[in-house]
Structure 1
Amino acid sequence: MLHRPRAGGLQESPTGRGGELAALVARAASAHAGHAHAVLLSGPSGIGKTRLLRAFLDDQAARGTRTLYAACGREPAAHRAPTAYDGLPDGMPEIPEGAATAPYGAVRALFGPLGLTGAGPSHLLRGGAHHALPALTPRATTAPPAHQVLHGLYRLAGNLMTDRPLTLVLDDAHHADEHSLRWLDFLLRRAEHRLPLLVVLAHRPEAEPLAGDALAAVGAPHRATVLPLGPLTEAESAELARRILGTPVGPAFAGHLAAASGGNPRTLTHALRTLRAEGIAPDEHGTRRAAELCAAMTATTTHRRLGHQPGWVRDVATALAVLGEDEPQRVAALAGVTTALVEDALTALRRAGLVAPGHAGLVDAATRAAVLAPLADPELTALRTRAVLLLSDAGRPAEEIAEHVLRLPGPVPPWMASALRDAAARAAARGGHKTAARYLHAVLRAEPDDLSARTELARALAEINPEEALPLLEEALALPTDPRTKAAVAAQYGLTCVALRRFTDAVRVLDEALAAFAAGTGPRTGPADRELAALLESVLLLAGIVRRETIGAVRARAAHMTLPHGDTPAQRQKAAMMSILTALDGRSAERTVVQARRALRSPGVEPGGWAAFAAAFPLALADEVDDALTALDQVLTQGQEYGEARVYTLALTARSLVLHGIGAIPDALADARTAMGLTAEDAQCAELTLPHIVLATALVDHAEPRRAEETLARIEPRDLDGHVLEQPAYLMARARARRGLGDREGAVALLFSCGDALAATGVANAVFHPWWVHAVRQLSALGRTGEARELAERWTGPARSWGTPRALGLAAHALALTTPGPEGVVLHTEAVEWLAGSPARAEHARAEYYLGRALLAAGDQPAAREHLRTAVGLARQCGALALAEAARGGLVTAGGRMRKATGSRTDLLTRTERKVAALARAGASNREIAEALFVTVRTVEMHLTGVYRKLGVGDRAALASALPPDGPPEPPAGMPMVAYGRPARAAR
């Protein structure tokens, strides 16, 4: 596509070459200001050098620059559209291949359109420029000295630059003759500091130049800029497709297109124009057709280039196509040549554009396929088998060998199946479950009756596609096997059912497996059997604890279980699940902590992270927040390292809950928003509802009840019926959102529904979804004091049984709300004292608020102001904006003064975070910020992380738009500025 000149300014660039075009234009502007320069435009065949040059020359012509162009070593292209370049009225001149090596052949093509034959006078030949005529007229009868011709050409170029700058462009310069390149070097050396000249040479770096030394001299680093052209990206391929097809294309189509073409614009353009001519849309069929077209074009180019090579070079190319980039010794062994010949072959293949400069493998998958296409199936199979043997003998990594094994047709021999198993185990250990499944599918094809291969494949699939894993496990369970094997399969079946939310099926199969295992192994079992039994029990508890219809049975089973020591992964998982049941029972925080800490005895986290993840929940309920957050951080790290999206999302959600519970609401919001984003991006997380519930819970405290309701509206309530953990959480979040919107009656109804759901599952923990505290507040506000009092008294016992400062503080707070007069003030004071010693900072702020109100009602305004001011500060520090504003209103009523919060997220920043954010917004580096604030760079990084989380941004670029123009404002008066962290637990 040619870009016509416009009235000035940068012309439209070929797709994906905007940056390169801008660089050329900038280099031209500098050169034309009197700093003569050269540019070497570098890239393989078809990469778009000529199209870029056309756009550049259009731009230069539009700016009034004199431009001369020639292409070396090509046959004239009659179909090429004419352009408006200065001196090129009939198109862009080319040097026929036969004339490429003639002395001054490139010079004649450049200056030929000027018509300088010496037959008549010309102002361009003044001042000695006529000495250039022998170079411009190949049939000259005399041969003047070379220096005289060089000076004549130099004078001619100078005459061309008397009225405007000059740009000389030589395309395919690797075909240019030595005389022409020597003159360009001569010209640049003399024009460097005083003439408005730019020389642009386009060449293929892999091609052997006709005059290598002369080309290197023109492109000497001190006077030349190298501008490489790389393959088009997926986004650029999509844009090219849109331009040619006239319609936007999806990312999947663009990705396949870029891969099939290797990002080569010429190949892409050919494929897209063919699709357009055939009327094929960019859909699945279009993707297949485009891949065929790209492969065919790549094959044609590859075969043409290889056809000129000797047989041993083609053999090396074939070996490279089979092995990939590899050691020369193995390539030589597979090709049947010497190592020295491999090096020579690589040089030849680089010149042919089949091997990239600096590499030892073919340029892309399409080229590899084209090289192998002529081989018959038996010949290719024999080569691939030899390659596997060579790699195995060399001790290469199992996964590298496995990739070659997968390319073999038909079932593989047993020793290769063993290599595939080894590779699958290594892939699974690093979280590559999809890769492991590919290997194990091949194993199962080779050994269809192998039960272990079936279960290993199911285990890998359970992480990426549990629907596909379940039938494999059901088939395995139906086979007549020994109790131990059946128990192991049942455990995997149970875990897979949990991922698919088929909890009842899991409990049924696990119950049967446990009974069969106990009967089959007898009372005297070894360590392996005890570990397998612990695994079965832990998975049974994991599956049964989720639903109302199964929790009773697993609770009865757990009552007879022995707490394991936590020395093995299965024991730790069992201890974690037992701690959850104990926590839900609500009778002993101490016992719960003991059980949960057994689950964390290992310093690391087992794959899947279930033990650490499960233990964090009861630890947080028991006010052991540091341990809970540490466990979740470990799970998050593992989930990120191994790409376990579901585990990572659930751990983020759990951490958001814990952070919300300690009053770090901005941090809780940040985690919940990230988890919500993952549910939309990853198919493994799409069905998760807890992130929505947790985000809504935090939004209510952040004074956004309307957004909380909108978030909860995405959940179908019937999907949560009978869910032990999620249904009460959903009902309570809805109740709090209703209260935030002023609907107290609706809130009370939902809170009692939450209580009913918990009672139906036997959950009696006073601080697990403490709906009763919220209900007491709303009932008291509605004047239903009797109901409120009865509810507070009923839950005081369970709260005292749990016995944590948070539980005792909430119980005192609920009783205080229903107790008027001085006795109520005493109870409010007790609630403040308990909650001040707990990690529940938002609840502490709320207790201070209610104590202030009680003191104000009793007529003690000074004391009321003290507690209300504390409530405002704590609430703002926590990010509980709704509570902060209510407390501020109470403070004003009590005769105090305090500025109203802006409602901006910047209110949530600590004073130090504000300083760091302001400096970062101004462009200071982390080190400069550290020096300005007299802290370490690590401290700056920590504060920036906090800023990003609280403002909901991801990096410095987004920080500028999240802050006011003059940086974050100072906090409102009375707001204590302390950094968020994990509060140290106060003594009870």
Structure 2
Amino acid sequence: MKERDKILEQLDALLIRSTRGRGAIAAISGSTAIGKTTTLNALAERATSAGITVLSVVSSPHEREVPYSALAQLLHSIEAQCTTADVPRAGGAGTVHDGRQADEASALAPPSAQDDPMAVARRTYQIIAELTALRPLLITVDDIQHTDTATLTCLRYLAQRLTQLSLALVFTHGISVDEQSASVLDDLLYRTSARHFHLEPLSRVDIMGLAASRLPVLPSDRLIVEIHRLSGGNPLLAQALIEEHRLRLASDSVAGPMPPQSDGIGRQSTTEGGASIGPAFYQAVLAYLHRLGPRAVRLARCVALLDEATTPLLLSRLSGIDTELSKRYLRLFTGLGVLEGARLRHAGVRQAVLGEMPYGEATQQRYRAARLLNEGGAPPQAVAMHLLGVGPLHDGWVLPVLQEAAAHAMEDGDVPQGIRYLELACECSLDEGQRLSTKSLYAFGQWQLRPAESAPHFRALKGPILEGKLTGTDALWVAEGMLFHLDFDEAVEVVDHVNSGEADVSTALHSTRMLMAAEVPGLLERLEHPLPATTAPATSHSELRARHALALILENGADKYAIALADQVFQGSQNWPTSKLSGLPKALLALCYADQLDTAAAWYDLLATEVERHDAPGWWAQIESVGALLALRRGRLADAVRQAETAHARLSGPRWNVSSALALTVLVEAHTAMGNHQTAAKYLETSEPPPALFLTRAGLHYLYARGRHHLATGNTYLALSDFQECGTLMRRWNIDTPSLAPWRLGEAEVWLRLGDQKQAARLVEKQLTNSDSGLTRSRGMTLHALALVQTTAKQPPILRDAFRLLEAAGARYEAARVLADLSRAYQQLGDKQARPTARRAWRLAKSCQAESLCQALLPTSIPQNMDTKPPEGPCGADRPGQDSFGTLSESERRVATLAAQGYANREIAERLFITVSTVEQHLTRVYRKMGIRNREQLLQRAHAVSYESV
């Protein structure tokens, strides 16, 4: 506050000069709430302390038109500050009416409007002159710009005769944006003898001093910088921000750091750069605006309404305030720190300003804002935001704006906002056709937001479609929504109706055909009329390309053209619009079924970074379910479970749908591979799948996953039934590709369990004959199965080939299964590679979290206190009684277990958090106690336990 202290010192000098009979006049100017009144009051206190009589006047805009209203305050102040003996006895400043008592005449009666202005001015001067002869005076007038003209005339008369009086006149003068000052005020303020002091906004140093005096702890430099930026140096706002911070510190000291709070009217407390912004700050802004006057309040409300769309011209038209004047106010608000560009800087300030608007005024202004924005060519969303606050309208321009705004909102990833626009659009529709078209868009939006709950919105539109009231692409959108929810009877009726009567929807019908071929292939044969098939349109739109690619790969395997189509869907900008999200799950599936697992996973990871930009849970849940399938096939079982659980939670509801079914099948298959058979059974027993599911591609996944579960839990004949049913459907629908569901391999595994190797071999050979060399993972799995139907001697080279293919495909779990069988074959053949291969298989299975496979790879465990027979030879003979595994200490047993599982000394040290030297010492004692020489003998003698028991 150094600048203000300096101003007070200079004003003190003026006071001293005035006490010596050399009258002085000064004006303190500055913007609203900058501290003019505070400075004036400080001067008055100092004057009083110095023995100077202070006469104070506070002018008000409400009394500006009342003659002598300010002079009446001055006369009243004289009566209050002076003794009876000091008060001039010659009457008041005005005329003394006949009939008054003598004592009444001695009072300082205020003049009336009918009195002669010059006579009143002379009498006022005479009163003040008589008083200054007795004592020095300081007359202060706060907000002199609001003083009535009659009083200003008296003050001007007084100022012209100051030189021989012990009088100081000090005024505060607010800088007015929208008013021309009266000439008499200019004459008063801009006299050559007048001193002018302009209050600038507070500096950072000033704010530091202010904060230090009001906060319990010394504020940080970062906090001061933020308070200065947010307040624009305005003392009113700076003090409010300091108070916000003080309250936060007090709250934190009592209850710990608190989350943002609301003041009960929707105004959130937030923090920005360490500074708290909340109700105290918002109220300070409102107080500031009201002190500027009604025009400032009106303009601020219009700025809050228009928000990002604010321009001086638009603001002028909405507020009814001249454009140039609007610009002045904007400059004033910017200097205050309230504006950023042409919009209010803080959402809380905007809410506070709008919250004060009467409902009727707010509704009317929102309508005017929407109309002005629309006429000016503003984006539909900017217009629609205001229409939401108005309610249903039937103006012709409203419905198209709302529909277009909804489309843009959904395209930008804000599906909830798009739905709000469509809800209002339904109420604004002028006829049934418009209303039904809007309802189809609304159903589609609900499907993106809450897919599991959207079925009724689609079913409700079946009747209008069959009646011809909803046609074309809108009708087919509805049909595709019905397909998603397994409402196949309704979907077939709608598709047949559109296919039989409309000639201009061939491209849309072709797209629907490809969707059905990929998602619900069992339904195509139920259509009354075949849908048109052409490949040309599939090159023009990402959704068409994705559907076409998926259908081709399901029919032909690793089709290079189809893979290229799927890859094209992901090309270009990485900031995918929401409309493009619809094609992404299908493109990912196409790459997955083409065994392009690494490519698909890379695209999925890139998509995962985009999820925060889109509020479209339906689309993302579908992508997540495909991501879970990818994780499963890459052997990342825990990731598959996590992603499938997320997708299933978002997609599942009271009824099944194609995407929730896919997520569930991944959960069943992943838990089965991990050995969590009870969990897998729980998912299968949750609800009975509807018959309609087995007309879908997801139904094939379900049959295969359930078959794997039955096989793992010993229900071989149930598994056989599921695999055979899966194969029957795949052959019937002409999508018999092993990358979708390798049912032949599953069935062959069943026959091997049942002891029928010939039947198993026949199935594997059939699969091998039909396999596509481009399907790397599928071919590796087929070679694995082929090895198992061979003699043991023939198995290793085939298994090694299978492992190389699966490793190249990134299929870690299947690769671990191959290594497990390879180690078994080596063991049966007496090959020394058996143990290292088993260890490698165990580690790979462990990385997949396939616990059942890990357990199968370990030797059978025995009780810790059971003795084992010593190996033949000198080592065992030399150390009788030293061969008991139970004689090992707990720490020695941990080291021995990991050593037997193939871990190197350094790896054991890392896992047990001990040094390599300690590991070596433990192993030396283990060898001595067990009477063995090396790890090979340890593996023969020790019964290893799993890593969890370590």
1:23 aligns with none
Would the aligned equivalents of 1:816 and 1:824 in 2 still touch at CA under 8 Å? yes
Aligned sequence identity (%)? 18
Contact map agreement 1:440 1:453 (CA 8 A) in 2: no
CA distance in 2, matches of 1:102, 1:685: 80
Question: Normalising to structure 2: TM-score of the pair?
Answer: 0.55
Between the aligned partners of 2:355 and 2:613, the Cα distance in structure 1 is 37
Is the CA contact (8 Å cut-off) linking 2:554 and 2:736 kept in structure 1?
Answer: no
Assess if the C-alpha contact under 8 Å between 1:666 and 1:878 holds in 2: yes
Distance 1:264-1:670 versus aligned 2 partners, 3 A rule: closer
Corresponding residue number in structure 1 for 2:561: 594
Q: Note closer, same or farther for the CA distance 1:506–1:395 as it changes in structure 2 (3 Å cut).
A: same
Candidates 356, 359, 363, aligned match of 1:371: 356
Q: Deviations over 1:946-974 (max 9, x none)?
A: xxxxxxxxxxxxxxxxx99999xx9xx99
- Secondary structure of the equivalent of 2:413? coil
1:429 counterpart residue number? 411
Are 1:336 and 2:320 counterparts? yes
Q: 1:849 aligns with which of 820, 824, 848?
A: 820
Out of 594, 597, 601, the residue aligned to residue 622 of structure 1 is: 594
- Contact 1:476-1:489 at 8 Å conserved across structures: no
Q: After TM superposition, give the deviation of residue 313 of structure 1 in Å.
A: 3.7
Q: 1:500 to 1:798 in 2, by over 3 A?
A: same
Q: Which residue of 1 aligns with 2:506?
A: 533
Q: CA deviation at 1:620?
A: 2.6
Residue matched to 1:503: 488
Counterpart of 2:630 in structure 1: which amino acid? V
Q: How does 1:726-875 map to 2 (within 5 A)?
A: 726-737=698-709, 743-744=713-714, 746-760=715-729, 762=732, 764-777=736-749, 779-781=751-753, 784-786=754-756, 788-804=757-773, 805-823=776-794, 828=799, 831-832=802-803, 835=806, 838-857=809-828, 859-865=829-835, 867-875=837-845
Q: Which amino acid aligns with 1:848?
A: L
**Distance in structure 1 (CA, Å) of the matches to 2:580 and 2:439:** 16
Q: Residues 811 and 415 (structure 1 numbering): CA distance in 2 closer, same or farther, change over 3 Å?
A: closer
Q: 2:663 matched to 1:691?
A: yes
Instruction: Provide the C-alpha distance between the structure 2 equivalents of 1:230 and 1:330, rounded to a whole number of angstroms.
Output: 40
How far apart are the structure 2 equivalents of 1:106 and 1:594? 95
Q: 3-state DSSP class of the match of 1:643?
A: coil
Which residues of structure 2 form unaligned runs of 5+?
1-39, 50-80, 83-134, 136-204, 271-278, 448-453, 863-867, 872-893, 920-934, 937-950
- Kindly tell me: are residues 565 and 965 of structure 1, through their superposed partners in 2, closer, same or farther at Cα, counting changes over 3 Å? farther
Query: What is the deviation of 1:491?
Result: 1.7
Q: 1:662 to 1:231 in 2, by over 3 A?
A: same
The match for 1:470 is: 458
Report the aligned-residue RMSD. Answer: 6.2
Q: Is the 8 A contact 2:485 2:657 kept in 1?
A: no
Contact 1:766 1:807 in 2 (8 A): yes
What is the one-letter code of the residue matched to 2:465? L
Shift of 1:549: 5.3
Deviations 1:903-953 (A, max 9, x none): x9xx9xx99xx99xx9xxxxxxxxxxxxxxxxxxxxxxxxxxxxxxxxxxx
Which position in structure 2 is the counterpart of 1:657?
629
Distance (Å, rounded) in 2 between the aligned partners of 1:878 and 1:259: 51
- Give the conservation status (yes or no) of the 8 Å contact 2:704–2:726: no
CA distance in 2, matches of 1:886, 1:813: 18
Separation in 2 of the partners of 1:619 and 1:307?
64
**Unaligned 5+ runs, structure 1:** 1-97, 108-137, 144-184, 244-250, 266-294, 522-528, 583-587, 919-962, 975-988
- Closer, same or farther in 2 for the Cα pair 1:510/1:231, shift >3 Å? farther
Aligned to 2:142: none
| Conservation of the 8 A alpha-carbon contact between 1:612 and 1:631 | no
> Does the CA contact (< 8 Å) of 2:302 and 2:315 recur in 1?
yes
Q: Do the aligned residues in 2 keep the contact of 1:731 with 1:751 (CA within 8 Å)? A: no
Q: Equivalent residue of 1:411, what SS? A: coil
Structure 1 pair 682–391 and aligned structure 2 pair: CA distance change class (3 A) = farther
Is the CA contact (8 Å cut-off) linking 2:668 and 2:684 kept in structure 1? yes
Larger Rg computed on CA atoms: 2
1:488 CA drift (Å): 1.5
> Do the aligned residues in 2 keep the contact of 1:851 with 1:867 (CA within 8 Å)?
yes
Aligned equivalents of 2:421, 2:241: Cα separation in 1: 48
What is residue 139 of structure 2 aligned with on the other side? none
CA distance in 1, matches of 2:346, 2:838: 72
Deviating more after overlay: 619-628 vs 646-655? 619-628
SS in 1 for 2:444: helix
Residue aligned with 1:845, SS: helix
Mapping of residues 439-478 of structure 1, within 5 Å:
439-449=421-431, 451=433, 454-465=436-447, 466-467=454-455, 469-470=457-458, 473-474=461-462, 476-478=464-466
1:801 offset after TM fit, Å? 0.8
In 2, Cα distance between the equivalents of 1:437 and 1:965?
A: 56
Conserved 8 A contact 2:520-2:696: yes
Q: Is the 8 A contact 2:289 2:297 kept in 1?
A: yes
Does structure 2 retain, via aligned residues, the 8 Å contact 1:354–1:363? no
Cα drift, residue 721 of structure 1: 5.0
Where do residues 140-539 of structure 1 align in structure 2 (5 Å cutoff)? 228-229=244-245, 260-263=265-268, 310-320=293-303, 322-324=305-307, 326-327=310-311, 330-338=314-322, 359=344, 363-364=348-349, 367-368=352-353, 370-373=355-358, 377=360, 383-392=365-374, 395-408=377-390, 410-449=392-431, 451=433, 454-465=436-447, 466-467=454-455, 469-470=457-458, 473-474=461-462, 476-478=464-466, 480=468, 486-517=471-502, 521=503, 529=504, 532-539=505-512
Counterpart Cα distance in 1 of 2:527 and 2:769: 26
- The counterpart of 1:575, out of the listed 535, 540, 548, is 548
Deviation at 1:492, TM superposition (A): 1.2
1:768 match: secondary structure: coil
Once residues 214 and 811 of structure 1 are traced to their aligned partners in structure 2, the CA distance between those partners, rounded to angstroms, is 78
Q: Is the 8 A contact 2:596 2:809 kept in 1?
A: no
Give the equivalent residue in structure 2 for 1:883: 853
Letter in 1 for 2:490: D
Contact in 2 for aligned 1:328/1:343 (Cα 8 Å): yes
Deviations 1:825-867 (A, max 9, x none): 565566456555654343233223213312322x323243454
Q: Is the 8 A contact 2:484 2:658 kept in 1?
A: no
**Corresponding residue number in structure 2 for 1:922:** none
Letter of the aligned partner of 1:613 in structure 2? P
Deviations 1:718-777 (CA, angstroms, capped at 9, x unpaired): 58752533444345444545665xx32x25523532432442463633343334434544
Query: What is the Cα deviation at residue 471 of structure 1?
Result: 6.0
Amino acid at match of 1:813: H
Code of the residue aligned with 2:719 in structure 1: it is L
Q: Structure 2: how far apart are the matches of 1:818 and 1:555? A: 46
Q: Call closer, same or farther: CA 1:789–1:227 in 2, change over 3 Å.
A: farther
Residue 595 of structure 1 aligns to a residue in which SS? Answer: helix
Residue 260 of structure 1 deviates from its aligned partner by: 2.6
Helix, strand or coil for the counterpart of 2:533? coil
Would the alpha carbon gap of residues 861 and 312 (structure 1) be closer, same or farther in structure 2, given more than 3 Å must change?
Answer: closer
1:542 aligns with 515
Q: Kindly provide the amino acid, as one letter, of the partner of residue 316 in structure 1.
A: L
User: By how many angstroms is 1:654 displaced?
Assistant: 1.4
Q: CA deviation at 1:790?
A: 0.9
Distance 1:348 1:750, change over 3 A: same
**TM-score w.r.t. structure 1 length?**
0.54
Contact 2:622 2:659 in 1 (8 A): no
For this pair of structures, how many residues does the alignment match?
659
Alignment partners' CA distance in 2, 1:678 and 1:620:
22
Verify the 8 A CA contact 2:845 2:851 in the aligned structure 1.
Answer: yes
Cα distance 1:874–1:573, how it changes in 2: closer, same or farther (>3 A)?
A: closer
Q: Distance in 1 between matches of 2:298 and 2:235?
A: 31
Matches within 5 A, 1:3-152: 103=45
Q: 1:611 to 1:333 in 2, by over 3 A?
A: closer
Q: CA deviation at 1:872?
A: 3.3
